């Protein structure tokens, strides 16, 4: 298939340039016209001047990497596509406009591929499904529902709102861990410097004076010698243990164990559970509001909920659903989700407003998440400071005890 470079005019008279792939010039003209543009000139491009998306695609395939948009890039794409469609532009023309912006990222190849498939007659949902690393089942299902209802621009806007809320939840959890992580890193760096650099110098002084050292000082010197001699082995051991733990957690059994542990740990379980419940309600409510039926919606939520234990229970509840609409009973039977959530779901089923009920549930657990994050940071920050202060204080006191012991023995 050849690459044709063209110049065309839009219906408003604006001049545009771009490239299309086609078997011959006539097919290229047809594709340009299907983009809603009037061709002015069409010429076959040289093989060496193929589009950057094609080069990026070949590079990624050669290195065994999957083309993928980042979260921010996906949000920008969804927002811009929604705006272009809302302005009256056809889907093919909108994708062509986005694909002609060269950013040098893997997303260029994805946009070019989407545009070519739409021009060839494929639906947007089918084209998106060809890139599962970027477009989740939730994204594809909502687009499919939007195509069926003729409200693609509105569905894209709802997707933007949904992913922005999910990203906000993730950022809240990450920000809650930033300060404790800084405290731990600074404390560890201080202790390491003391053990490797400060203590050995005091040890040489104590050895020259030849006095009996207090027990805390002897313990400190022993730890310092151990780090100096076997620090490399300790680092290697920690690295090997981290890799093995990471691989174990990626297995089905390991993932279930780890995710179950997160739901039981004090302080952490409140943040994890609230985020999962809010994500569950937001995702399911968004799917149901956009015309996705209950069983397929539960299947999608099972994949994107973010916790293997709760995902497994959602899968079991999906198997227990008999009438295709009532889900509160099957979810309550597993006793994994809180009774408050299933009771509110039951009310939504009775009133016939499941999306509204799920929206209330999401807001309720988002508020819980905010409170749990504040509680976590309020409790963890002073605890970490105390632990670091005790360790650093032990080092200082151990050295001072030895100094006082030596000076008293010298009658200074």
The pLDDT tens digits of the residues spanning 198-210 come to: 788 877 777 777 6
The answer to which of 127-141, 171-185, 254-268, 346-360 has the lowest mean pLDDT is 171-185
What average pLDDT score do residues 129-155 get? 80
The pLDDT tens digits of the residues spanning 11-25 come to: 666 777 777 777 777
The pLDDT tens digits of the residues spanning 319-374 come to: 877 655 578 888 888 777 888 888 888 888 888 888 888 889 988 988 888 888 88
Q: Where are the domains of the chain?
A: 1-50, 268-370
DSSP state letter for 47:
G
What average pLDDT score do residues 38-57 get? 55
Output the pTM of the full model: 0.63
Distances (CA, A) of 123 to 127, 138, 297: 6, 16, 20
What average pLDDT score do residues 221-225 get? 85
Rounded Cα–Cα distance for residues 138 and 299 (Å): 10
What CATH fold (topology level) applies to the domain 268-370?
Receptor-associated Protein (1.20.81)
Q: Rg for the chain (alpha carbons), in Å?
A: 30
Query: What is the three-class DSSP state of 87?
Result: coil
Q: Which residue has the tokens 């010698």?
A: 225
């Amino acid at each position: 298939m050849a690459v044709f470079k063209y110049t065309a005019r839009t219906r408003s008279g604006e001049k545009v340039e771009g490239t299309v792939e086609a078997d011959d010039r006539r097919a290229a003209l047809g594709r340009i016209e299907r983009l809603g543009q009037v061709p002015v000139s069409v010429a076959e491009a040289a093989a060496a001047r193929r589009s950057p998306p094609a080069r990026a695609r070949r590079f990624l395939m050669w290195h065994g990497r999957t083309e993928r948009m980042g979260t921010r890039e996906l949000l920008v794409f969804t927002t811009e596509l929604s705006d272009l469609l809302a302005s009256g532009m056809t889907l093919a023309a909108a994708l062509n406009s986005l694909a002609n912006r060269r950013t040098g990222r893997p997303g260029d190849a994805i946009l070019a591929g989407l545009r070519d498939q739409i021009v060839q007659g494929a639906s947007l949902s089918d084209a998106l499904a060809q890139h599962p690393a970027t477009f989740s089942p939730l994204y594809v299902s909502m687009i499919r529902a939007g195509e069926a209802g003729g409200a693609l621009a509105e569905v894209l806007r709802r997707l933007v709102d949904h992913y922005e809320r999910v990203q906000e939840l993730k950022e809240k959890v990450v920000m809650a861990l930033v300060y404790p992580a800084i405290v731990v890193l600074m404390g560890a760096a201080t202790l390491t410097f003391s053990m490797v650099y400060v203590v050995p110098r005091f040890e040489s002084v104590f050895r020259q004076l030849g006095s009996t050292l207090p027990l805390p000082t002897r313990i400190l010197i022993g730890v310092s010698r151990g780090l100096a001699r076997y620090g490399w082995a300790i680092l290697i051991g920690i690295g090997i243990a981290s890799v093995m733990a990471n691989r174990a957690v990626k297995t089905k059994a390991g993932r279930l164990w780890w995710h179950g542990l997160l739901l039981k740990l004090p302080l952490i379980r409140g943040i994890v559970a609230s985020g999962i419940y809010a994500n569950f309600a937001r995702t399911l409510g968004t799917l149901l509001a956009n015309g996705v039926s209950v069983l397929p919606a539960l299947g999608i939520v099972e994949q994107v909920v973010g916790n293997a234990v709760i995902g497994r229970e959602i899968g079991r509840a999906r198997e227990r659903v008999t009438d295709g609409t009532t889900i509160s009973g099957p979810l309550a039977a597993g006793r994994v989700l809180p009774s408050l959530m299933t009771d509110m779901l039951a009310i939504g089923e009775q009133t016939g407003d499941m999306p509204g009920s799920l929206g209330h549930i999401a807001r309720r657990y988002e508020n819980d998440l905010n409170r749990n994050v504040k509680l976590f940071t309020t409790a963890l920050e002073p605890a970490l400071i105390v632990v670091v202060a005790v360790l650093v204080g032990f080092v200082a006191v151990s050295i001072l005890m030895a100094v006082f012991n030596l000076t008293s023995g010298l009658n200074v």
